[in-house]
Amino acid sequence: MSDLASSRPAPDEPPDPCPGGPADVSGLFPRASELSAPAARDPADALPDGLDGFVLNPLAASVSWDDEASFGDSAPFGDAVDDTEPTARTIAALLETPMTPAAELADAVAWCYDDEALPLLLPLARHPDAGVRRAVAQALPSVLGDTEPGDTVRALVMLSADADEDVRDWACFALGTQLSEVDDPVVRDALAARLEDPHDDTRCEALLGLARRRDSRVLPVLHERLSRDNVYSLEIDAAGALGHASLHTLVRGHLSGWDDDVVARVCAALRLTDPDGVGDDLLDGLAEWFRAGAPHATDEDRYWWSVTLQLLEHAEYRAQEIAEQVHHRLLGLEPATTLMLGSRLSQLAGDHGWPRWRPSC
């Protein structure tokens, strides 16, 4: 789930592959040949409080739903099913069949997006097969729906300390990124416990999850890791998410050797850690985009908007800063200001306390 490469620049490499503007996209997003790339934990014996009541057979748990609304005229749980996408009915039917192979159950669980399946999946966090537990960690965020996340978080915290590295990896990804809006000491401590995990991806997912929550424990870890010759892409992402200015020079030291799909993320981290802010070129470009009516016709038209979305992917809280500075550039231009105040950028800024957002726009 992460990429690694040497960050040592080639002798003929340009000193800074990330400057540039809309007229020279390749300058801002360096070529893979000009960039470098990288992207784990100890199993714990103790289980978190609140999971002792989980039973391995989820059919023993109390599950309430409207059978007709959920399944229409479909057959009872015990009958054969042939759903294109696994549903609660699919999972229940597999669980009712004693001879269901663990691999078949794991495959169904991993690709289930049916909110009704949540009560069936939670007990499977204790399944004896690692493949099933990995599938549960993968699926839980997708079936949470509008349910309070408490039980799901407790299951994922348990899975983040699993003996299997793939289970830990998916659990840390779920807790750290997919459920990044859940921010409490239990989640933070579970992620912090994985910062020295022997599995690279797990360790990096935990680091990114803590950085998204701007937990101070990640700053010394990032200083140490970004000082190495080889770094992971998720470590670069974490630097951007934290956005601490002391990381800017370290990020700049890892601009070369990355694959194409990582380049924009590296450049985003460089902007997010810049002590002078995200860049006047970006802010001016966004303002011009709104003046032009925020066109979506071509990639060139929305270039700076795309760059902004890349920044906000890991550092959404920076929306308030960006929105305020773009708004200042649009003062006196009513149509552009109105458009900007009703935009997704302003909505994200409003979610983080920006008072100018106009939800009615």
Residue 175 near residue 190 (C-beta atoms within 8 A): yes
Token pair of 11 as six digits: 């002798």
What pTM does this model have?
Answer: 0.77
Q: Do 136 and 121 form a contact (C-beta atoms < 8 A)?
A: yes
pLDDT of residue 18: 61
State the pLDDT confidence band at 93, using cuts at 50, 70 and 90. very high
Most confident of 8-22, 60-74, 83-97: 83-97
> What pLDDT score does 70 carry?
31
**φ and ψ at residue 69, rounded to 5 degrees:** -65, -35
SS3 string of 23-56? CCHHHHCCCHHHECCCCCCCCCCCCCCCCCCCCC
DSSP states of 235-283 as a string?
Answer: HHHHHHHH--GGGHHHHHTT-BS--HHHHHHHHHHHHHT-TT-S-HHHH
Q: What residue type is 206 in one-letter code?
A: A
- Confidence check: pLDDT of 200 > 50: yes
- Ordered by start, the domain boundaries in the chain are 41-193
**282: burial class by Cβ within 10 Å (0-12, 13-18, 19+)?**
buried
- Residues linked to residue 230 through DSSP beta bridges, in sequence order: 6
Q: At what angle do helices 280-291 and 334-341 cross, to 10 degrees?
A: 110
Cα-based distances in Å from 34 to 7, 70, 98, 226, 237: 10, 53, 55, 18, 18
pLDDT in tens, 308-341: 999 999 999 999 999 999 999 999 999 999 999 9
- Taking phi over 0 as left and psi of -120 to 50 as alpha, with beta for the rest, 332 belongs to left
Q: Tens digits of per-residue pLDDT, 244-268?
A: 999 999 999 999 999 988 999 999 9
**Helical H segments across the chain, by residue range:** 25-28, 67-71, 88-96, 102-110, 118-121, 130-143, 150-159, 165-173, 185-192, 200-212, 218-226, 233-242, 248-252, 260-272, 280-291, 303-314, 319-329, 334-341, 344-351
- The C-alpha atoms of residue 263 and residue 4 are separated, in whole angstroms, by 13
